[in-house]
Structure 1
Amino acid sequence: MEFLTSRVIIHPRDPERSMAFYRDVLGLAIFREFPGGTVFFLGGGQLELSSKGSEPASPDLALWLQVRDLAGAVAELRERGAEFTREPRLEPWGLHEAWLADPDGVRIVLVQVPPDHPMRRDSRTP
């Protein structure tokens, strides 16, 4: 089986508020719009906001977004009104992370991978 693309779909409780957050605060570019929904570019995948949800976000769900410069991303997002639930720090697993949440409480983890982290090693070479 071959997967050609990926998309995370969120049904926000207040679609207009979430649209403004993802477009204006996170600064995601719009891939396409359709009646009742918007699809954003999200790195190597996509994020779709569609219809209207009725349940709060699950604490078991998080969006993991890798950035090149965590300090710069945090500063830029703060200028746009983002509030962080966890300040930037180096985690025990070696990644620099900062956490924030969308208007419905979906956790968003911003991640910077240090140059010496195993995720940056070429697994094809010994």
Structure 2
Amino acid sequence: MVHVLNSRTLIRPTDPERSRAFYSDQLGLAVYREFGTGADRGTVYFLGGGFLEIAGRSETPPSPAVRLWLQVADVGAAHDELRAKGVEIVRPPVKEPWGLVEMWIADPDGTRIVLVEVPADHPLRYRPGI
């Protein structure tokens, strides 16, 4: 078995500065570390129990198969805050049939980001009899 010590998701945006502005200023992610210099420098953000690294440059946007899943405490409050910051809401908060409340946004390259609220009575939080 591979003994994983840490992990991060890597994104190679078409416009690194635009993506850094989105993840820092609009989404409000805290910076874990930065490395390198100039326009192609790398920035690593905290993502709860993981990290998101914006580094390098790509000529093409990421595959639409790539998605980010971010759990938040209050998706309604996140919706209001992000809308006020000018973030395009792809889909407003909806309680899904599986019980999670989900809202969709996209980064500047179109990478879909789902913001998820896990209600207090959802099995991911609460397991009767345990």
TM bucket by the smaller chain?
A: over 0.9
| Structure-1 residue corresponding to 2:121 | 116
How much has 1:107 moved relative to structure 2? 0.4
Q: Secondary structure at the match of 1:105?
A: coil
1:10-29 superposed matches below 5 A: 10-29=11-30
| Alignment partners' CA distance in 2, 1:123 and 1:23 | 39
Which structure 1 segments of 5+ residues have no match?
none
1:73-84 superposed matches below 5 A: 73-84=78-89
How much has 1:122 moved relative to structure 2? 4.8
1:55-74 superposed matches below 5 A: 55-74=60-79
Tell me whether 115-124 or 85-94 shows the greater mean CA deviation. Answer: 115-124
| Alignment partners' CA distance in 1, 2:101 and 2:74 | 10
Tell me whether 113-122 or 87-96 shows the greater mean CA deviation. Answer: 113-122
Tell me whether 13-22 or 54-63 shows the greater mean CA deviation. Answer: 54-63
For normalisation by structure 2, the TM-score amounts to: 0.90
RMSD: 1.5
After the TM superposition, which segments of 4 or more aligned residues of structure 1 sit over 4 Å from their partners?
none
How much has 1:123 moved relative to structure 2? 9.1
1:88-103 superposed matches below 5 A: 88-103=93-108
Q: Secondary structure at the match of 2:34?
A: strand
Instruction: State the one-letter code of the partner of 1:12.
Output: P
For normalisation by structure 1, the TM-score amounts to: 0.93
Identity of aligned residues (%): 57
| Alignment partners' CA distance in 1, 2:48 and 2:111 | 18
| Structure-2 residue corresponding to 1:9 | 10
